[in-house]
Amino acid sequence: MSEMTEIVSKIAAKMLAISTTVATAESCTGGNIAHQITLVPGSSAWFRGGVVSYTNEVKMKVLGVPSELIESYTEVSNQVAEAMAEGARNVTGADFAVSTTGIAGPTGATATDSVGTVYMAVATPFKVVSQRMVFGTDREQNIERFTAAALEMLLANV
What pLDDT, on a 0 to 100 scale, did the predictor assign at position 148? Answer: 98
Let me know how long the chain is: 158
Between strands 96-102 and 117-123, the pairing is antiparallel
List of E strands, the chain: 22-26, 47-52, 96-102, 117-123, 128-134
Residues 6 or more apart whose CB falls under 8 angstroms from that of 41 comprise none
What pLDDT, on a 0 to 100 scale, did the predictor assign at position 1? Answer: 74
Q: Quote the percentage of the chain above a pLDDT of 90.
A: 98
Residues 6 or more apart whose CB falls under 8 angstroms from that of 95 comprise 20, 21, 22, 89, 124, 125
What pLDDT, on a 0 to 100 scale, did the predictor assign at position 24? Answer: 98
The domain covering 3-157 belongs, at the CATH homologous superfamily level, to CinA-like (3.90.950.20)
- When pLDDT is cut at 50, 70 and 90, the band that residue 67 belongs to is very high
What pLDDT, on a 0 to 100 scale, did the predictor assign at position 25? Answer: 98
What is the C-alpha to C-alpha distance for residues 27 and 150, in angstroms, rounded to an integer?
12
Widest pairwise Cα distance in the chain? 44
